[in-house]
Amino acid sequence: NAGVTQTPKFRILKIGQSMTLQCAQDMNHNYMYWYRQDPGMGLKLIYYSVGAGITDKGEVPNGYNVSRSTTEDFPLRLELAAPSQTSVYFCASSLLTSGGIYNEQFFGPGTRLTVL
Amino acid sequence: GENVEQHPSTLSVQEGDSAVIKCTYSDSASNYFPWYKQELGKRPQLIIDIRSNVGEKKDQRIAVTLNKTAKHFSLHITETQPEDSAVYFCAASYQKVTFGTGTKLQVIP
């Protein structure tokens, strides 16, 4: 299993440009998440999904959009990039089993994004 | 919503000493408490977790304790080694996962 994969690894954007960060998992996990991590800081939840077709906002959703058309893929869209979106973006997935039993999150390798 | 506080933010210990990191949470419905280790430039990885029906769990040099009444849980690392140097995050899960702000652990050889 590849686990959680993310592309690209690095990207530089100009202010106002748009891009999509790709995330895929091959573990058949129902839950998927997008986090951003600013230098020296913790993980902030942007969006999450509990299954295909269902997404919900985290604590910092402004400036981002997501979709979940399949179990495997959870792309994050940045519209009109701003310098404040310079960060490392981590995608993660986990399996919530019946009865509401959480399990560990598996993280992708991250995408380092710089907006100039 | 859930609020997770983590202390200390930085911790320096001599090699061989023990390290303790503490977290508190606010939502009594949280039932899963993982700890992640993040080395510089790498992704977070699970090192140990505990569920709400267990009070303590140990895995070699790492242990976690949970006090549901007080709503706090702690990570204990014994016989610390230089490779334990990293940032450690606690988290509490119910309908969503909420992470603590992280503790930067430095083990001095």
**CA quadruple B26, B63, A31, A64: dihedral sign:** positive
Instruction: For residue A102, name the pLDDT band (cuts at 50, 70, 90).
Output: confident
Residue that the structure tokens 């652990």 belong to: B105
Cβ atoms B81, B107 nearer than 8 A: yes
Instruction: Tell me the two tokens of residue B86.
Output: 């990293």
Distance from CA of B65 to the nearest CA of A (A): 17
Of B34, B89, B96, the CB nearest to A43: B89
For chain B, give the mean pLDDT.
Answer: 95
Q: Which of A32, A35, A79 is nearest to A54 (CA)?
A: A32
Is A102 touching B (CB cutoff 8 A)?
yes
With a pLDDT cut of 70, the percent of chain B lying above it is 99
Question: H helices within chain B, ranges in order?
Answer: none
Of A48, A104, A109, the CB nearest to B43: A109
The tens digit of pLDDT for each residue in B25-46 reads: 999 999 999 999 999 999 999 9
CB pairs under 8 A between A and B: 40
Find the closest chain A residue to B34 by CA distance. A104
**Around Cβ A16, how many Cβ atoms within 10 Å?**
10
Instruction: Tell me the two tokens of residue A16.
Output: 């106002």
Asked if the Cβ–Cβ distance from A104 to B49 is below 8 Å, we say: yes
Amino acid in position A55: T
Cβ atoms A24, A87 nearer than 8 A: no
For chain A, give the mean pLDDT.
Answer: 94
Does B95 score more than 80 pLDDT? no
Of B32, B96, B99, the CB nearest to A43: B99
Mean pLDDT, range B4-18, rounded to an integer: 97
The tens digit of pLDDT for each residue in A61-99 reads: 999 999 999 999 999 999 999 999 999 999 999 998 877
Q: Which of B105, B94, B109, B91 is nearest to B8 (CA)?
A: B105
Does A18 score more than 90 pLDDT? yes
Q: Which residues of A touch B102 (CB under 8 A)?
A: 41-42
Q: Which of B65, B92, B91, B93 is nearest to B77 (CA)?
A: B65
Peptide bond into A83 cis (omega under 30): no
